[in-house]
Structure 1
Amino acid sequence: MSFSTNPQGGPVFSIKMEMGSTTENPLHTHPNGQLIMTQYGSVTLQTDQGYWMVPPLCAVWVPVGIRHRARADDQALIHFLYIQPGLDQLPDHCCTLDLSPMVREMIIHLSDLNADYEPGSQTHRLALVLLETLNQMPSRQLHVPVPEDKVLQTIAQHMQQQPDARPTMADWAKALAMSERTLARHMLKHTGMSFGRWRQQFMMMLALQKLGSGMSVKSTARELGYTSISAFISVFKSILGETPSRYIS
């Protein structure tokens, strides 16, 4: 199944898609703002500036005109909420929103209703309540910045291909013919994070993809180069607020 890039509906409407296999759509934009929420499974959003993770109880907000693509794992059920420009008070940049159970249930219910509804109808009233409540949801820092920078692109590509290798910053500085201090400054300038924090965030993005595809916690930890499963669980919970086992349940 492919993602629809410009579906039609009312000023605020939601559609759902159940993926039968790992799916990734091409980079595209929308004339409406888009909120991507998973009911189960894993989704990672990519933009020109990096990646956003979508853990349970959260959703990623994509403003109008932002180039992006979403990667959904096998058997994921995703809800796409579309909002006409000017109706929301959400940020003008991508962010991960921490959704309350009530907001999640409203989005799920709206996905089951006709997207092309009449003004003043019950569906319209539900959409307006959802929009007002959504504007109050807090954001979470689950962004992995990977800008169009040769150094960062090189490191990110290696981590995706060999996530268990885990070279240190000293190893990377040597490979890139840079001093450790220069690499540390470069990382902070382009990502706003230390090398260690950025790598940790990137690893958790990979962990979400693997867990969402059905891989066990133990196998995921091993594939990411963790020698201790307890260390992996601790890092996962510190960043995502849930243990891996609770996430996949």
Structure 2
Amino acid sequence: MTSYLIRPDLVTSPDGPFLAAAELTQDEARATPSHSHARGQLMGALSGLMSVGLDKQHWVVPAVHAIWIPPHCVHSVRSYGPFSGWSVFITEHRCANLPSEPRAIRTTPLLREAVRRAATWPGAELDQTQTRIAEVVIDELAASKEESLVLPRPEDARLIRITDALASDLSDNRRLEEWAAWAGLAPRTLSRRFVEETGLSFAQWRQQARLLRALELAADGVAVTTIALELGYDNVSAFIDMFRRALGTTPGRYLAAEGKQTRSAD
């Protein structure tokens, strides 16, 4: 049975403190079915990796990132292996100046330390010191820049057939024209509909799917060379170049930064 991350009343009730936070570590994987709540939620991982399902989108949350989920937004959550993470719940009336759509952000040391402090509070009304710390969390979220950790899902059944096949085998390097023939589409139609329904070209969608899968595999401790081969790259250098263009750093440095931030939270 999935244990509660935080007292249910601090998630569902408009009463109580305007901000409540919690941290949780468990040895088994964590899975929460689709649900929503009146409070906005900022969630992140301390170690490992989580995925969040939002409408027709799939988000991946590595340990150095967090996902903002506005009030009343239906979502599901699951972790890959053991779970260690945190969540902040903010009353709806304090979300007016926060992002109105879900977004991924890269956490800062200031945000993480403020959340860590907030997670020790008992769930009562905040005193002056606690209020200042809670305001720091809100300010850091409001000032954060959006990062691309989402994979949109198309609606056209033919495109879904392609994306599902790709997701099951990301090493499949068939060209757009070959996928179009396989799904019974003209190449130009496939290209156009991909952009219309996902906001990404076919090539961009496949690269994003590979990037998110790379983060999942890296969270499980898989070697960079193995990840590159599993995702269909002919050599490690090509994979590293893709990773650097997407996240601004190499896989090795990214994982080193994740490990450093995770250790600082221990």
TM-score (normalised: structure 1): 0.90
1:47 to 23, 33, 54: 54
User: How far apart are 1:3 and its partner, in Å?
Assistant: 6.3
Q: Does structure 2 conserve the Cα–Cα contact (< 8 Å) formed by 1:14 and 1:115? A: no
Q: How does 1:80-91 map to 2 (within 5 A)?
A: 80-88=87-95, 89-91=97-99
User: How far apart are 1:241 and its partner, in Å?
Assistant: 2.6
User: How far apart are 1:147 and its partner, in Å?
Assistant: 4.0
User: How far apart are 1:215 and its partner, in Å?
Assistant: 1.5
Query: Structure 2 counterpart of 1:7, which letter?
Result: P
User: How far apart are 1:82 and its partner, in Å?
Assistant: 0.8
Query: Is 2:209 aligned against 1:209?
Result: no
SS at match of 2:180: helix
Query: Is 2:242 aligned against 1:235?
Result: yes
Structure number with higher helix proportion: 2
The percentage of aligned residue pairs carrying the same residue is 28
Query: Is 2:25 aligned against 1:2?
Result: no
C-alpha spacing 1:216/1:28, structure 2 compared with 1 (3 Å): same
User: How far apart are 1:27 and its partner, in Å?
Assistant: 1.4
Whole-Å separation in 2 of the counterparts to 1:180 and 1:12: 50
Gaps of 5+ in 1: none
Which residue in 1 is equivalent to 2:202?
195
User: Pairwise CA RMSD of aligned residues?
Assistant: 2.1
Q: Does structure 2 conserve the Cα–Cα contact (< 8 Å) formed by 1:23 and 1:72? A: yes
Query: Structure 2 counterpart of 1:192, which letter?
Result: G
Gaps of 5+ in 2: 11-16, 257-266
SS at match of 2:35: coil
Whole-Å separation in 1 of the counterparts to 2:175 and 2:28: 34
Whole-Å separation in 1 of the counterparts to 2:90 and 2:192: 39
C-alpha spacing 1:39/1:110, structure 2 compared with 1 (3 Å): same
SS at match of 1:139: coil
Whole-Å separation in 2 of the counterparts to 1:19 and 1:210: 20
C-alpha spacing 1:20/1:248, structure 2 compared with 1 (3 Å): farther
Aligned residue pairs, count: 248
C-alpha spacing 1:243/1:70, structure 2 compared with 1 (3 Å): farther
Which residue in 1 is equivalent to 2:104?
96
Which residue in 1 is equivalent to 2:252?
245
Query: Structure 2 counterpart of 1:53, which letter?
Result: V
SS at match of 2:254: helix
C-alpha spacing 1:246/1:115, structure 2 compared with 1 (3 Å): farther
Q: Does structure 2 conserve the Cα–Cα contact (< 8 Å) formed by 1:21 and 1:73? A: no
Whole-Å separation in 1 of the counterparts to 2:105 and 2:93: 19
Q: Does structure 2 conserve the Cα–Cα contact (< 8 Å) formed by 1:55 and 1:240? A: no
Which residue in 2 is equivalent to 1:153?
160
Which residue in 2 is equivalent to 1:130?
137
C-alpha spacing 1:149/1:81, structure 2 compared with 1 (3 Å): farther
C-alpha spacing 1:53/1:2, structure 2 compared with 1 (3 Å): same
Query: Is 2:108 aligned against 1:107?
Result: no
Name whichever of 9-18 and 175-184 sits farther off. 9-18
Q: Does structure 1 conserve the Cα–Cα contact (< 8 Å) formed by 2:58 and 2:152? A: yes
